[in-house]
Structure 1
Amino acid sequence: MTWVAFLTDYGLADGYVAACHGVIARIAPAARVIDVTHEVPAQDVRHGAVVLADTLPYLPPSVVLAVVDPEVGTRRRAVAVAAGEHVLVGPDNGLLAWAADAAGGAARAVELTAPEYRLVTGATTFDGRDVFAPAAAHLAAGVPLSALGPAVDVATLVRLPDPWLRVGTDRVEAEVHVVDRFGNVALAAGAAELAAAELDGHARLRVTVGERSTYLPLAASFAAVPEGDQLLLIDSAGRLALAVNRGDAAATLRLRAGDRVTISS
C-alpha cells in the first residue's frame, strides 16, 4: 500500500500533525498521505468514527491512521485491523469499528506491541507519533501485519453503541448521528427508513424535537428552499438530514449529536 489516510483531532495550530507526517516520511518515504481531517472535535471519538466510516469507501486501498485518543497512556490497546482493502491503525476505543464495517468487516487484527516498530521517546502522551504513525508507516513500507504484535480476536475489538433508531407506521424516531461544520444535522436514518415508514412520498414532514414541532419540506437540495429556510433532505452519506439553506440547522434547532428527533406526517 502506498497510501496512508490520516485522521485526528490534533488541529493545525500545533506541530502534532507535522510530527506524524515526519515519522511516516522517514520510515516510508514513498508513501503518500491523504489528510482526511485533523479537525475532529477534541476527544470526540464518535464524531471521528462517523467521519472515518463515511470517507473510507472513497479512499484508495490504504493504511488508515486514525487517532482520537482520550485514553492515551492508559491500558487501552493500540491495534491494527485488516478490513477489505485497508488496514486501520489506531486506538481500540471504537474509533475504527464503523470504518471496518464500511470496508466489509474486520478480518484480522493485531495489538501494536513489537518494540522495533515504535519510536522510543520516553513520552506517554503522544502515541500518534510514537506508536500509531510508525506502525502505519511500516505497514505502508511492506512490513506484514503479523510482525507488529500478537493477534487479537476481532470479536473483542471495542465498538461504540449503535445509534438509536426506531421505525414504525408513519413515524421514524432517530438520534442525531453527526453535525457537520456547516451545522447540517444528519440523523441515524435514511431513505430506506423513510420508505419503511411510508413517509417517502410526502412533500412535507413533521419534525419533532422534545416539545417543539415544525413542518419542513422534503427537498432534493439545499437551494430548493429560499435562503434561511429549513428543510429535510437525504445527504451525501445517504442519511436523512435537517438543514438550513445557507444557514446552521444545529444552532437554529438547538440540536447536537445524540439528541432524538421524530419524523412523521
Structure 2
Amino acid sequence: MNNTAAHPWNCISFTTDYGLEDGFVAACAGVIATIAPAARVIDITHAVPAQDIRRGAVVLEQTAPYLPPAVHLAVVDPGVGTQRRGVLLVAGDATAVRGLLVGPDNGLLLPAAEALGGLRAAYELAEPRYWLPEVSMTFHGRDVFAPVAAHLATGVPPESFGPSVPLAELVRLPEPVNRVERGAAGPALVTEVIAVDRFGNVQLAAHRADLARLDLPPGQPVGLHSADASAPGEARTVLVGRTFADVAPGELVLIVDSSDRLAVAVNGGAAAVLLGVQPGSLVRLDR
C-alpha cells in the first residue's frame, strides 16, 4: 500500500487500565516525549477497569472519531509477555487514512479502527529497532507500544514496523448480545450491557434503529427485565425519552446516548445501582 505516514502525526491518544496511583502512565509519556518531543498526547482514560479489554475497546471506539487524526496508543493487555502479537492497525475510508492504532492483538483496537472508517491494513510489531533497547516481560506499554507510537508520530511509515498481518487473522472480541425475540405483546429486545459510566448510566449494545424495530416512540413505556436466568431481578417500567429530564427525579428513562446507543438512566440517580446490572448483564425490553 502507499505510504500512509508521509508526514508526521503530531497527536497521540493514550488509553490504558494503568490507573494513576503508579508511575506507569508517566513512564510511557516520558518515552514518547524523548522520541517525539513535538507530539501532543491526549489522555483518553487510564481508568479502564483492570484487564477489561471490552471496556477499553468501547471507550476507544466512542472517543477516537472526535479526536484529530492521530496515533491511538491503547494498552489493556492481560496477555503481556505471552505469544500474543503487538500490532499496528491502519484505519480510514477509501479517501484517506484517519488513524493509526498501536497495541496488543486482543480485540482492543478493532472497534476503533472500524469507527475511524474501516480497517485498511495491519502490521505485526516485529522490528526491535523501534522498541526500547531492553524490553520487560511485564511492561510492553513502555518498552514496545509507546516507542512505536512515538516513532509513528515522527513520520516513520507503518510498513517499517514489521510484516503485514492478514486482517482475518486479527483477534476479535465476541459481538455483544443484541437480538429481537417474540414477546407476548409484540417484539422484544434482548441486549447486553456493554458499559456503565461514572454517573451510573447503563449503556446497551442496542442502537437507535432498535427503537424503530420495536416501534417504541418517545413517551412510550417499556418493560425492562433481567434476561440473566441466574439473576432474574425485579421487573421495571421505563419511559422512552429524549433527555434525562423527561422523567421525574428518581425515575428510569430509556434514551439514545451520545454514541447512538440505547442507555438506561435515572434522572438524578444511578441506573446501574437501581437495576443491579454491570457490563455483561443481559436485559430484555418489551412492550
Fold similarity call, TM over 0.5: yes
Q: CA deviation at 1:223?
A: 2.4
Q: CA deviation at 1:182?
A: 1.3
Structure 2 matches for 1:134-213, cutoff 5 A?
134-168=147-181, 169-200=186-217, 202-209=219-226, 210=232, 212-213=234-235
1:38 aligns with 2:46: yes
Show the counterpart of 1:224. Answer: 246
SS at match of 2:163: coil
Q: 2:91 aligns with which of 83, 94, 104?
A: 83
Q: CA deviation at 1:158?
A: 0.6
Conserved? CA contact 1:172–1:194, under 8 Å:
no
Conserved? CA contact 1:191–1:200, under 8 Å:
no
Show the counterpart of 1:248. Answer: 270
Conserved? CA contact 1:185–1:249, under 8 Å:
yes
User: Which ranges in structure 1 are unaligned for 5 or more consecutive residues?
Assistant: none
Conserved? CA contact 2:135–2:143, under 8 Å:
no
Show the counterpart of 1:11. Answer: 19
Amino acid at match of 2:190: E
| d(CA) in 2 for partners of 1:202, 1:263 | 15
Conserved? CA contact 1:64–1:86, under 8 Å:
yes
Show the counterpart of 1:47. Answer: 55
Show the counterpart of 1:65. Answer: 73
- Cα shift readout 1:36-67 (whole Å, capped 9, x = no counterpart): 00000011000000010011110110000000
SS at match of 1:212: coil
| d(CA) in 2 for partners of 1:225, 1:195 | 21
| d(CA) in 2 for partners of 1:63, 1:80 | 10
Amino acid at match of 1:21: A
Conserved? CA contact 1:163–1:177, under 8 Å:
yes
Q: CA deviation at 1:198?
A: 1.4
Show the counterpart of 1:263. Answer: 285
| d(CA) in 1 for partners of 2:217, 2:110 | 30
Conserved? CA contact 1:167–1:173, under 8 Å:
yes
Seen in structure 2, the aligned counterparts of structure 1 residues 218 and 26 have a Cα distance that, compared at 3 Å, is same
| d(CA) in 1 for partners of 2:67, 2:123 | 22
Structure 2 matches for 1:91-130, cutoff 5 A?
91-130=104-143
Using the size of structure 2 for normalisation, the TM-score is 0.89
| d(CA) in 2 for partners of 1:216, 1:162 | 26
Conserved? CA contact 1:199–1:264, under 8 Å:
no
Q: CA deviation at 1:201?
A: 5.2
Q: CA deviation at 1:120?
A: 2.2
- Percent of residue pairs identical: 54
User: Which ranges in structure 2 are unaligned for 5 or more consecutive residues?
Assistant: 1-8, 93-97, 227-231
SS at match of 2:272: helix
| d(CA) in 1 for partners of 2:105, 2:16 | 14
| d(CA) in 2 for partners of 1:56, 1:192 | 22
Amino acid at match of 1:229: E
Q: CA deviation at 1:180?
A: 1.1
Deviates more, 1:81-90 or 1:209-218: 209-218
- Cα shift readout 1:222-242 (whole Å, capped 9, x = no counterpart): 122232222211111111111
| d(CA) in 1 for partners of 2:247, 2:286 | 20
Using the size of structure 1 for normalisation, the TM-score is 0.97
Amino acid at match of 2:254: L
Deviates more, 1:195-204 or 1:63-72: 195-204
Conserved? CA contact 1:232–1:242, under 8 Å:
yes
Amino acid at match of 1:189: A
What CA RMSD, in Å, does the superposition of the two structures yield over aligned residues? 1.2
